[in-house]
Amino acid sequence: MRVSPVNPSPLSSQNSGQWPALLDSLAAQDPEDARIAISQYVWICKRQRWKILGFCALAVIATVIVSARLTPIFESTTTVDVDRESPAGVLGQDAARSVTNDAEQFLATQMKLVQSDGVLRPVDQRFGLRLREKQSSAQSPREEAAPIVLKYLRVIRPPNTYLMLVSYRSDDPVLAADVSNAIADSYLEHSYDIRLRSSTSLATFMERQLDELKVKMEHSSLALAAFERELTVINPEAKTNILESRLVQLNTEHTATQADLLRQQAAWESVQGGSFEAALASPQGEALRKLVEHSQEAREHFADVSGYYGTNHPEYRRAKAQLDQLEGALEVTRASIAKQVEVGYRESQRREQMAGAAAAQTKTEFDRVNARNYEYQAAKREAEADKTLYAELVRKIKEAGINAGFQNSAIRIADAARPALQPVSPNIPLNALLALLFSMLVAGSAAVGGDLLDKTIKDPEQVARTLGTEVIGSLPLLKNVPGGRVLALPSSSDKGTVEERDPSGFRESVRTLRNSILLGNLDQRYRSLLVTSAAPAEGKTTTAANLAAAYAEQGQRTLLIDGDLRRPSVHRSFKIPGIVGLANVLRGEFDWRAAVTPVASLPDLHVLPAGAPSRHSADLIGRGLMEMIEEAATDYDLVIVDAPPLLGFAEPLQMATAVDGVLVVARAGHTTRKAVAAVLATLNRVRAKTVGLVLNEVHRDLSDSYHYYDYYRSYYRTPNSEKLEDNATNGVPT
């Protein structure tokens, strides 16, 4: 009779397609399995604390021993002060150099310079440092020519300072101090040599340029002198100014003569017409004007005389003669005035021509002198520039020579190194502390890494997270038990309570498993159960025997069938004969009821042994076992079948289809998740009902989920419990 429970299993047939993916994820380590709480790491380190502490102690002791055997190393330091405000020279721009904001770059440059080959090579030749550091007797030519690098030299700069600390380490404190001071001195000399070579090179270059500049200055001076001789003056610029003033004056005079010529020409053209008005308007018209007045008076007088006297009258003739005389004088005066005007006009014309010619000549000379003056000024500027440059270059050469011999105090030794009293290496306390820290880190990482790489089943939370099933019970690890088994059976020799005889809580765990199965399916109880595992030696037989005994203790009629026909062991647990059993029933030699053996200490428990081991008998399991379980279900409250391991054997699959539920037993810390997943997938494929997983041999070292086993011992502690616990631990029957 097979019962189908109402509550579906998480591994039902509708999820059968998920198992290949589950197996693949287990093979590749499910990423969810890596998300472990920090408390789990703490617990892992706590569990492995003695190993971690032992490793750390060993590492610290080894470090102390090795450090004590090392050669002491002494360090001496020379302090070098770098003054950025000190001038580089005593003359010129070097003496007035302004402070720049390149302190970081400058100090970094100086630190590199201290470690350069030019600084270290003289010190190495003096002390043989490379031979000491390499601990060799000679160097090859190639090594000798290579740049020197001292591995025991250290150059640092304290923050926010202008100091450089030149340190050297050696097993000889005096040598360390001498080398540090020698490197600082070599650095100062090297800096001075660099500046001296730079100044010398600059002076040499300027001297070559000075010779060329001197020749050029002489040529420009000769050209200037030639211009002065050509112009017959020392300063053509002054002559240009004179010519310019003369030209202005001549232009003014020329303009005045032109104006006078126009007036004279106008007067001449006026008098050319013969009119008295033009003659009167001329500058000489005053005399003519007087004659005209006298002529008018004489004409009026003649008119008056002619009116009184006749033509023959003397008065008439005298008046007429006077009038004729005045008119003749008037005509002569008019002609004289015209002649004078013409002469003035001719003189003005000649004067204008002479003034224009003089102005033109002066303008021509001025243009010529002015044009030559530009060339003269250019030659003069070039000659003066050559003289100035020559003088400046001579001054620079003198300054460079003086500055080259000046060894300023911008870089100076502030504190010379002295031999150290205490070695800086090995620092035994520091090495021990570092060894402790690193060993703790390595040991803790190894412990956590080993736990993460462990693919075995450990606790219920891990099973639920990775396999999607639940753990319905866990059985504690039993030490020093004869045969590796314990059976929760009362006997006549038992003294005290069950708790006193069960200090490890194993029997209580069996009862918990029993109640989990009974209470997990209240609607329709299991009438038959199959107990199996993934591999041998995982505790399935012990679990099945103790579970059957726990059911029988409640007064339920229980039948335990040993279905492992290859390696039967149930009869040894109950110390009953195992010659006749299931194998004989399957071969038809006996009825199953005749092969059942009752257990004397538990009246409600009956056992059907496997019989004589036979591989042929295993092939008979099939319908015969199913019919036998259905018949036994009518006589017993529960039928428990102890089956062989499921992986690698065929008969457990047939047995699984004949029962109401399958209980899978896994050995905590030994059975892999992949093996359990394969078992669950196989059961799901044959549509067998999986009740759940039982973890066997659990203990505190597997997970912090099992800490409650410590409480069980103290909860039932009695005055006699310590003796009983010692007997149980040592395997002595109580």
pLDDT tens-digit readout, 438-494:
999 998 888 877 777 777 877 777 777 777 788 888 888 776 554 445 564 544 344
Q: Are residues 528 and 616 in the same domain?
A: yes
Residue where a domain stops, chosen among 404, 424, 447 = 404
Q: Are residues 395 and 482 in the same domain?
A: no
H/E element holding 153? strand 153-156
Which residues does residue 561 pair with via DSSP β-bridges, in sequence order? 608, 641
pLDDT digits (tens, 9 = 90+) for 646-657: 887 888 888 888
pLDDT over 90 (residue 703) = no
- In angstroms, the Cα distances linking 265 to 107, 253, 262, 346, 726 are 95, 18, 5, 9, 165
- In angstroms, the Cα distances linking 151 to 75, 110, 132 are 13, 18, 11
H/E element holding 642? strand 638-642
- What's the pLDDT band for 257 if we cut at 50, 70, 90? confident
The phi, psi pair for 98, rounded to 5°, reads -80, 155
Q: Are residues 485 and 371 in the same domain?
A: no
pLDDT given for residue 168 in this prediction: 94
- How many helices (H) and strands (E) would you count in the chain? 25, 12
Q: Are residues 483 and 592 in the same domain?
A: yes
H/E element holding 686? none
Query: Percent of the chain beyond pLDDT 90?
Result: 16
Which whole number is the average pLDDT over 284-306?
A: 69
At 613, the amino acid letter reads P
pLDDT over 90 (residue 174) = yes
Is residue 298 domain-resident?
A: yes
CATH of the domain at 360: 1.10.287
Tokens describing residue 617: 């008998």
Is residue 218 domain-resident?
A: no
Give the SS3 label for residue 487: coil
pLDDT digits (tens, 9 = 90+) for 188-240: 888 888 877 777 777 777 777 777 777 877 787 787 777 667 666 555 666 66
For tokens 């211009």, the residue is: 227
CA–CA separation, 469 and 227 (whole Å): 118
Is residue 108 domain-resident?
A: no
- In angstroms, the Cα distances linking 659 to 192, 555, 652, 688 are 101, 22, 11, 8
Is residue 410 domain-resident?
A: no
How many independent structural domains does the chain possess? 2
- What's the pLDDT band for 28 if we cut at 50, 70, 90? very low
Task: Tell me the residue length of the chain.
Answer: 734
Contact 142, 131 (CB under 8 A): no
pLDDT given for residue 178 in this prediction: 94
pLDDT over 60 (residue 96) = no
pLDDT over 70 (residue 525) = yes
More confident residue, 277 or 373: 373
More confident residue, 73 or 366: 73
Which whole number is the average pLDDT over 286-312?
A: 70
pLDDT digits (tens, 9 = 90+) for 423-454: 888 888 998 999 999 999 998 888 877 777 77
Cis status of the peptide bond prior to 173, with omega within 30 of 0: no
Is residue 641 domain-resident?
A: yes
pLDDT over 80 (residue 335) = no
More confident residue, 661 or 402: 661
Residue where a domain stops, chosen among 404, 420, 439 = 404
pLDDT over 80 (residue 366) = no
Sign of the CA dihedral 348, 354, 359, 363?
Answer: positive
DSSP 8-state assignment for residue 701: T
More confident residue, 52 or 286: 52
More confident residue, 218 or 10: 218
More confident residue, 538 or 260: 538
pLDDT given for residue 237 in this prediction: 60
More confident residue, 694 or 303: 694
The range of the structural domain enclosing residue 306 comes to 236-404
pLDDT given for residue 403 in this prediction: 63
- What's the pLDDT band for 273 if we cut at 50, 70, 90? low
Pairing of strands 690-698, 471-476: parallel
Q: Are residues 392 and 263 in the same domain?
A: yes
Is residue 729 domain-resident?
A: no
pLDDT over 60 (residue 705) = no
pLDDT given for residue 437 in this prediction: 93
Pairing of strands 597-599, 602-608: antiparallel
Q: Are residues 249 and 357 in the same domain?
A: yes
Q: Are residues 596 and 517 in the same domain?
A: yes
For tokens 């690193």, the residue is: 438
Which whole number is the average pLDDT over 687-711?
A: 73
Q: Are residues 278 and 372 in the same domain?
A: yes
Q: Are residues 515 and 631 in the same domain?
A: yes
Is residue 61 domain-resident?
A: no
Which whole number is the average pLDDT over 242-271?
A: 74
pLDDT given for residue 214 in this prediction: 77
More confident residue, 26 or 444: 444
Query: Percent of the chain beyond pLDDT 70?
Result: 72
H/E element holding 599? strand 597-599
- What's the pLDDT band for 626 if we cut at 50, 70, 90? confident
DSSP 8-state assignment for residue 32: G
Q: Are residues 652 and 514 in the same domain?
A: yes
pLDDT given for residue 328 in this prediction: 74
pLDDT digits (tens, 9 = 90+) for 665-677: 998 888 888 888 8
Contact 695, 724 (CB under 8 A): no
Is residue 677 domain-resident?
A: yes
Q: Are residues 505 and 613 in the same domain?
A: yes
Q: What is the mean pLDDT of the chain?
A: 76
Residue where a domain stops, chosen among 404, 437, 468 = 404
pTM for this predicted structure: 0.50
Q: How many CA atoms lie within 13 A of 714 on its CB side?
A: 5
pLDDT given for residue 173 in this prediction: 92
At 483, the amino acid letter reads G
Q: Kindly report the CA angle at 185 between 178 and 74, in degrees rounded to 5?
A: 25
Residues 6+ apart with CB under 8 A from 94: 87, 88, 399, 403
Q: Are residues 264 and 367 in the same domain?
A: yes
CATH of the domain at 661: 3.40.50.300
